[in-house]
Amino acid sequence: MKYVSTRFKVTFGFEEALFCCFTEDGGLLMPETTPKVSLETLKKWKNLTYDEIVKQVVGLFVAEDEVPEDARDKLLDNAFQHFDTKDIVCLKELNDGLNVLELWHGDTLAFKDLAMTCTVQFLNYFLKKRKKHFTAVVVTSGDTGSSAIYGARNLKTIDVIVLYPHNRISKLQELMMTTAGADNIHLYAVDGSSDDIDIAAMKVWTDAGFIKEHNVGTMNSMNWCRIMIQIAHHIYAYLKVAKQIGDPVNIIIPCGGCGNMTSCVLARDMRLPIQPVGVSNKNDSFHKMMKFNERVLSNVSVSLAPAMDIALAQNVERIIWLLTDRSYDIVRHAMEDFLTNKKSKLPDSAYKKMCDVISTSVASDEIIIKAMKRCWEENQYHICPHTATAVAHFYGITEGCFAVREEKNVPSVCLATASAAKFAEAVEKADLPPCHSPKIQALEGIKERYEYVAKDVDWADLIRNKVVSISLRYQKK
Ligand SMILES: *Cc1c(COP(=O)(O)O)cnc(C)c1O
């Protein structure tokens, strides 16, 4: 399997893809062709466990001569050691046909752990083999940071620089990062939104010379490996919920940076009979792009679902590329327009192809609260404010529903992207009993470690300087 940039047809192997953030032409990596999964194969996979499905997926996307099967299985087994349920992900079948797939049983109580743990293991595998060191620059709107920190802390091969928007994430999201200190973790609380920080980090991520010199990359969802691993939970969701293999299933996804949506669209391209439905919170630029064929770079506002407070969803580029039959030209034009004019439109025929696949809607804070309440009343079951956007769509209470393709009378699965225990503020706002987790109780009393970064600091310079000091330290060893 080879990978290509979304902007020009240049090819990369899996190892290069794993360490790459943006390609030199500014694009993101995607598989050159999509491996297809037949109904016969799906039938064979029907009773596989989640980790077995991950192994099958990796087998389709990573060449045996890059990572041999036994090494692959070993590193994936390592990745899943810390999950608190035997099955790693679990399906909850609730009242009125509501299916919720809990993807948050990892260390940081959010779905990011599923792919992050594997990505870190793959990175470590190649770094050990090459005797090299890697610095990941990670910008987080809440959950990516803690997941990257837990995945990589205390590894000798990787340092992680994490920047998060100060006062714009939940208390527990912050506490998870600030208490997880280790010498290879460098945490900055920045006075800006995650999109603002992203723009600064972008200066570093796209500085090809610098990246190469210091072996810098990211564990944000620009990293192909995360997208690849996430394909597995869509397949798992399908196999658990489809009445018969071959029947369609709606997969309802709380969308932020659209990494999860990209994985879903890829799974569909592999011929999984699924209908992707993306739900945004009030930061609804993805929904607006789908509904009006106009992608606008707007400002982000703080919502009850902070991990979705994103206007600059990097992975939209991958989705456009895949759904316009891998059209490098369309992507290049759209992205140039978007980055220069803060606005872009797709050609009509390309837009139509997107609409044929994806449905979207929007859940405001008010609707999030309604869905959390109703889910509790009907099931005595807590959902987090992100998951609530998907559940709200299932309940039919989201706004501006844009559902050209979504089929009624078809089973749906709502992806539960985080545990409600991580979002105590929202649970309280919804007037529900508190939701506890031993993982959160364990954080009490641990000393917090982070550095505050003011607005007037040049954030890109700050990142560059930190990278340089890490790489100097590493060279001395
Ligand atoms: C990251 C995250 C999302 C958004 O996922 P994307 O892949 O960025 O769209 C939604 N919910 C939670 C809890 C998250 O951590």
Domain boundaries, the chain: 90-107+227-436
Look-up of token digits 């990978």: 3
User: What residues does 134 pair with on adjacent strands?
Assistant: 158
Contacts of 424 (CB under 8 A, 6+ apart): 170, 171, 172, 434, 435
Q: Does the C-beta of 332 come closer than 6 Å to ligand 1?
A: no
Compute, in angstroms, the gap from residue 141 CA to the centroid of ligand 1.
9
Q: Does the C-beta of 256 come closer than 6 Å to ligand 1?
A: yes
Q: Does the C-beta of 262 come closer than 6 Å to ligand 1?
A: no
In this prediction, what percent of the chain has a pLDDT beyond 90?
90
Q: In one letter, which amino acid is 389?
A: T
Q: In one letter, which amino acid is 283?
A: N
* pLDDT of 170: 86
Q: What's 407's DSSP letter?
A: P
pLDDT tens digit string along 157-175? 999 999 999 988 888 999 9
Please state, as a whole number, how many other Cβ atoms lie within 10 Å of the Cβ of residue 59. 15
Q: Among 225, 253, 386, which is best to mutate for testing ligand 1, by the most ligand atoms less than 8 A from CB?
A: 386
Count the helices and strands in the chain (H runs, E runs). Answer: 20, 17
Asked if the model's pLDDT at residue 404 lies above 70, the reply is no
Q: What CATH number belongs to 90-107+227-436?
A: 3.40.50.1100
pLDDT tens digit string along 280-336? 999 999 999 999 999 998 888 999 999 999 888 999 999 999 999 999 999 999 999
Q: How far apart are CA 170 and CA 475, in angstroms?
A: 37
> Which atom of ligand 1 is found nearest the CA of 256?
9
Residue in 366, 350, 260, 219 with CA at minimum distance from that of residue 305: 366
Q: Among 109, 251, 260, which is best to mutate for testing ligand 1, by the most ligand atoms less than 8 A from CB?
A: 260
Q: How far apart are CA 270 and CA 33, in angstroms?
A: 10
Q: Among 233, 266, 308, 360, which is best to mutate for testing ligand 1, by the most ligand atoms less than 8 A from CB?
A: 308
* pLDDT of 403: 66
* pLDDT of 405: 60
Please state, as a whole number, how many other Cβ atoms lie within 10 Å of the Cβ of residue 440. 17
* pLDDT of 407: 67
* pLDDT of 406: 63
Q: Does the C-beta of 259 come closer than 6 Å to ligand 1?
A: yes
Q: How far apart are CA 384 and CA 414, in angstroms?
A: 12
Label residue 348 exposed, middle or buried (CB < 10 Å: 0-12, 13-18, 19+). Answer: exposed
Contacts of 181 (CB under 8 A, 6+ apart): 187, 447, 449
Q: Does the C-beta of 255 come closer than 6 Å to ligand 1?
A: yes
Average pLDDT over residues 5-25: 94
Q: Does the C-beta of 217 come closer than 6 Å to ligand 1?
A: no
pLDDT tens digit string along 431-447? 999 999 999 999 989 99
* pLDDT of 182: 93
Among protein residues, the one with the nearest Cα to ligand 1's atom 2 is 307
Burial 70-84 (b: 16+ CB within 10 A, else e): eebbebbeebbeebe
Q: How far apart are CA 164 and CA 448, in angstroms?
A: 15
Average pLDDT over residues 400-407: 68
pLDDT tens digit string along 31-57? 999 999 999 999 999 999 999 999 999
* pLDDT of 181: 85
Q: How far apart are CA 372 and CA 388, in angstroms?
A: 6
- Classified as helix, coil or strand, 330 is helix
